[in-house]
Amino acid sequence: MFPLRVVWRNLIVFMHNVAIYLLLLVILPIHIRWNALSSILGLLVLLANGLWCGMLLGMISARFRDLPQIVSSLMQIAFFATPIIWSAEVLSGNTALVSGNPFFHLIEIVRAPLIGRPIAVRSWIAVAGISVVGWAVTLVVFRRFHRPISYWV
């Protein structure tokens, strides 16, 4: 239940930020297209990926107590390595940094339609691969370790 609570809490925070986006659409002369609705599908896929990440990291963190600090540090590095606060077009020749970053594709399937761009097919392929592999690993680990989790906590 805890991973579901984490995903739900983050969805509520995201919806508060969407309110700011909608306010900017009213104030600024931005023309939104119908393909912006595809960001809803991207958000659902992102939530499903957040669920397997929460389950997997939760199980491993219950067993190894130092992992949350390591994940926190790695997420901060991933934030700066992912084009969130900087544009991917800045890297004119070195696109391997962006295309090899799984966080970029997870963000791009939600962000691209909201700023009026189509979602690249490679982003959908990357996210589909991340989803399938992530859920497969999570279900295998959960099946193997579901009984001793209560002793780890």
Determine phi and psi for 42, rounding to 5 degrees. Answer: -60, -40
pLDDT of residue 47: 94
The predicted structure's pLDDT at residue 56:
93
pLDDT: is 40 or 98 the higher one?
Answer: 40
Domain ranges of the chain: 2-152
The confidence score (pLDDT) of residue 94 equals 67
**Mean of all residue pLDDT scores within the chain:** 87
Q: How far is CA 16 from the centre of its chain?
A: 17
Yes or no: say if 131 and 53 are a contact pair by the CB < 8 Å rule. no
| Distance set, CA 83 to CA 90, 95, 105 (Å) | 9, 11, 10
Average pLDDT over residues 24-36: 82
Residue 63: what pLDDT?
Answer: 87
CA separation for the pair 13, 51 (Å, rounded): 16
Tell me: the pLDDT tens digits for 41-87? 999 999 999 999 999 999 998 888 899 899 999 999 988 888 887 77
User: d(Cα 61, Cα 86) in Å, to the nearest integer?
Assistant: 31
